[in-house]
Every structure is written in structure tokens, then in C-alpha cells.
Structure 1
């Protein structure tokens, strides 16, 4: 058990160091190819790279680079070994996922990524209720780390949550 904890802690420290380097680094001059236009004929170029680096039991990773309508730029990657994911209790993830399970909350996150920062502006833009109702949703998202106050009465999606949020939406789109 301790070795799993030690491996997880070491992985989290490596990810944190990578995040710091990515935030400090200038943007790449040659961005990665678009997912529908890989530089190789190998359709599974990402999957094969993961398979080579993490043989059985494998790993689940997600990564991304994203620019938002508000002009922010995010890059992030994270992963865990499959064995660890299958061994841990999934129940603690329910509240974080449940916070995303509401159309108004998803609209709030989308609007915030688009540059809308205040509850009053969210209520006006979304037309989805009163400021009090929007505050309720903002509080639910904030409690689970999907939103954070960054200035007086202004909210943003924490940088370390942008790519995970987009990855969850990508997973939800699945084969659609």
C-alpha cells in the first residue's frame, strides 16, 4: 500500500514540476499537429506512445492545449497507472462529477472560460435565473474546485482544471 502511495506522490510531484515549467515556458513555435492531421500515418500515434511507455497494466493519461475566447492559453497533462485507478475507491469522485452534472453549471463554466467573471454578468449572459440562483451554482462549482475566486467577486476556472474539464467533456462526447 505504501509503495502505491509513494508512487502516486512521486507522480503528483512530477506533474506539479511540469506544470510550473509549462507555465514559465514560452509557447511552442511549432504546435503539435491537430488530432485529425497527425504527422504520421499511424492513426493510433498517441495510443502507441502510451502503450510503449506504460506496458501492462497500462495507464490512463490526458493532455491538452487550449486557447479560450478570453485569450487565455492552457497546457496540461496528467495520468495514473491503470492498476492504481482500479484499486482506489471511486466514491470520493462522485461529488466533483456531480457538480458538473447540471446544465446551468456547465453553462457557467463555459461562460467563465469565455471571459465572464462576475455573478451579475453570468446571470445576465445566461438568463438562467437570478443572481442568487447563479451564486448557488457558483458555490457548488467552487466547493469542488471547478471555479475559484481570483479577485473581489470575480471567478475563473483554475488553470489546473481547464484541460481536465475539457477532457471530461471530450469523454462525454464519446462517439457522438
Structure 2
């Protein structure tokens, strides 16, 4: 966006502000099937990142009525240049069907080991604690006191993004 376009956009926002109407920050959202891609192309074009990037975002309400909003934005360079070996453990923790069942149950409201033991196919209490420790070690879980487990607020949407990205 050149200087004249920015000035025009600023004047429009000022007019809306003075009239008491709300306005949307940033350039207008492109319409169509890939509106988010169009928006990102515009956003990354304004930066010194010629290779673009990715944005993950979500606004969710869990079955427990807890609400979370989260977003993360990375340039292509940030991701490509990162040490991927550190990511392997985090992804590997999600590679177990039992751990995924436990995470689903926790996000659904079962928060204690006793409640989790009622979930079909998760094993003995010793096996459950083993899986919970593995998930906690890489940040997918934390203890919330009194033997309660939770997905940390900053990881709820990230977990859903990871699961959604694995869908075919």
C-alpha cells in the first residue's frame, strides 16, 4: 500500500471514528474462497519477507464452555531456519492414539486421573500417568493443582490446528 492509499485509508477511519461507527483495522479483507491467503499476501508484501509466511488462528468454545482465542504468525524464514529436531518430541507426543484420547477427554471436561481412567482404551492408572507426563513434558498439558490436568490456554487452539492439519 503506497503513501497515498494509506492516507486515504486513515481519512476513512477517522471519518468512521468521528461518526461513532466501528471500523476494521488493516486493509479490507479480500472476499472469496481464499480470502485469508489474499490478506496474508498483502500483509507479507509490506514486510521484508519475500517468501511469505503462515498464520494459525482460532476462536473456540470447548464442550466445557471455556473459550479461547489464539493466533501465531511466522515468516517462512522463521520456520525453515528453526531447529526442527526440537519439534519432533512435540509432534511425537501427539502420535499416540491413547494420548489423543486423553487430550480429547481433558478438553471435554475430564480433568483428573480418576475421570480419565473411565475413558475406554487408555490403560491402567500407571499407563495413564505415563502418557500424561509425556504430554506435559512437551507442553500439551500442565497440572492445574489437586491432580487436575489441563491443556494450557496458549495450546488449545494450537492443538486443534495440529489435529486439523493432519486431516485428509
TM-score range, shorter chain: 0.7 to 0.9
Q: Distance in 2 between matches of 1:57 and 1:102?
A: 34
| Count of aligned pairs | 136
**1:1-176 aligned within 5 A:** 41-55=31-45, 56-173=50-167, 176=168
Judging changes above 3 Å, is the alpha-carbon distance between structure 1 residues 168 and 40 closer, same or farther for their aligned structure 2 residues? Answer: same
Q: Distance in 2 between matches of 1:126 and 1:63?
A: 31
Q: TM-score, normalised by structure 2?
A: 0.77
Q: CA shift at 1:125, angstroms? A: 2.3
Judging changes above 3 Å, is the alpha-carbon distance between structure 1 residues 165 and 125 closer, same or farther for their aligned structure 2 residues? Answer: same
Cα deviation digits, residues 70-118 of structure 1 (max 9, x gap): 1110100001110121112211111111111100001111100000001
Q: CA shift at 1:127, angstroms? A: 4.0
> Which structure is larger by alpha-carbon Rg, 1 or 2?
2
RMSD over aligned CA atoms reads: 1.4
Q: TM-score, normalised by structure 1?
A: 0.74
Q: CA shift at 1:128, angstroms? A: 2.1
Q: Distance in 1 between matches of 2:96 and 2:63?
A: 22
Contiguous gaps of at least 5 residues in structure 2: 1-28
Higher relative contact order (CA 8 A, sep 6+): 1
Secondary structure of the corresponding residue to residue 53 of structure 1: helix
